[in-house]
Amino acid sequence: MYFYWGDFYYFLILIVPVLILSIAAQIMMETTYKKYSNVKNRRGLSGAVVARTILDSKGLTDVRIEMVNGRLTDHFDPRDNVVRLSEGNYNGTTISAVGVAAHEVGHAIQYAEHYAPIKLRAAVIPATRFGSWFYFPLFLLGILFQMPTLAYIGVGLFAMIAIFQLITLPVEFNASNRAIKILNKDFVLDADEVSGAKKVLTAAAMTYVAALLMSIVQIIRLVLIVRRND
């Protein structure tokens, strides 16, 4: 009975606050992005133009810029050496579009400058994928056949996801900081516009924080289940 009450206590103390934080972070990201997607920058610069200008100024003329379908599907692909911007941010001349474009260019600069955390993140991707595929089957088999060691191996594999998310935090915050500094220093945006772009990128970064916290409480949950069935 102790562990059942313990699980209930865990649910109230850990899961509910983190779930609320995750929802709040998502809402903040959506509302902030939408707000500044309706505010055009005074110079009329599109996300694609800003991205190209920053890349060229850093000597990264070999990095391509492409438009991709979807909303907020923006990313930098180091394998193809290309910054991909969603249609709204590629053509858009809003504060949000420019901020997101500069952020993705920040990732390209990280690779060019051999920024250690982004190299580490790339290195753990295979282990993270392996963990996401096999953690639950191993965990479930360990519980069903009362093999706690196997179940804990499953928990360990799931922990790889949390480790990846932890490494992702400095990568994302650094890319955003680079973007804000460039937008401000190179006078791409005016001071009040830079403030808006910073709000957009900060809101987006908080979703990564919330995801990490959710993974951590999930690890605790899995451990409680193993202990209860041990």
Residues carrying an active site annotation:
104
**Contact in structure between 222 and 155 (CB atoms under 8 Å):** yes
Angle between helices 16-36 and 191-229 (to 10 degrees): 160
State how far the Cα of 108 lies from the Cα of 113, in Å rounded to an integer. 9
| Residue entry with tokens 């480790």 | 163
**Longest Cα–Cα distance in the chain:** 65
Per the DSSP assignment, residues forming a β-bridge with 85 are 67
Per the DSSP assignment, residues forming a β-bridge with 83 are 65, 76
State how far the Cα of 220 lies from the Cα of 208, in Å rounded to an integer. 19
Distance of alpha carbon 161 from the chain centroid: 12
